Amino acid sequence: MNCLVLSVDYRLAPETPFPGPMEDAQDALHWLHGEAQQLGIDKRRIAVAGQSAGGAMAACLALMTRDEGEIQLAFQLLEAPRLNDQIGEGEESNPFTGEFVWTRQSSAYCRTAYLGAGNSSPYASALRATDVEGLAPTFVAVGALDLFVDECVEYCGRLLRAGVPTELIVYPGCFHGFQRAAEAQVTMRSHRDSLNALKKALVG
C-alpha cells in the first residue's frame, strides 16, 4: 500500500497551551486537503492517526473536522490515546493501571500544562464530546495496564452506540509505551494490527 504520511510539528505546551497545538493540526489537515491533487492523494482517503498525546490530538481533530463540515475523514487510528483529561482518583481509579511509565502524576502535570484550569472543550479532550455521531470509522489500540485503557473502552462504547464502525484491541499485560520493546512479539503484533486496520480502511 502506497501511503503519504504527514507528520505535524505542532507547537508544544506549556509554551503553547490549548488551543494552539490543535490549531496547528487543523491547519496541516486543511493544507493537505487543499494540496491533494498536487500531492497525488485521494481526498476521500485521508485519515488521522497518533499515539498517546498524538492519539488524543487525532481524536480531537476528528471531532473538529466533523463539526466544521468541510473535510470528510476516512478513518481515525488511535494508539493509547488520552481521551479524558479528568484523572480518576480513589474509588474511581483502576488499581491495575498507571503504575508503569505513564502515571496519574504524569497526566496531572500534562493536563495543567496543556489546559490550565477549567477548560472543558471536547477539542481538548475527546471524551467530553456530547455527540460522537458521524465520526470517521475508528481503530483504537491500548494496553491493559495503560492508564488510558478505561477511557478508551468507554469512548469506543460511545462510538458503537452512535453507529460509528469501531474496532478496539486491548493488549494483555501491556503498559503505556510498550512498543519501546521493539523486538517483543506483542509490539510486532500491534504494528501489524494498526497497519492492517489502516490498509482495510483506505484500500478495502
Known catalytic membership, residue 176: yes
Residue 78: partners with Cβ closer than 8 Å, 6 or more residues away:
49, 50, 55, 58, 59, 138, 139, 140, 141, 152
Q: Is 146 marked active-site?
A: yes
Max Cα-Cα span within the chain? 54
Given the residues 146, 150, 190, 194, select the one marked as catalytic: 146
Active-site residue identified among 85, 176, 190, 194:
176
Active site includes 52? yes
Give the separation between CA 36 and CA 158, rounded to whole angstroms.
Answer: 32
**Spatial distance between the Cα atoms of 137 and 114, rounded to a whole number of angstroms:** 27
H-type helices in the chain, by residue range?
Answer: 20-34, 36-39, 53-68, 104-115, 149-161, 185-202
Helix axes 20-34, 53-68, angle to 10 degrees: 60
Contact predicate 148/176, CB 8 Å: yes
User: Which is catalytic among the residues 24, 30, 52, 121?
Assistant: 52
Q: Which residues are catalytic?
A: 52, 146, 176
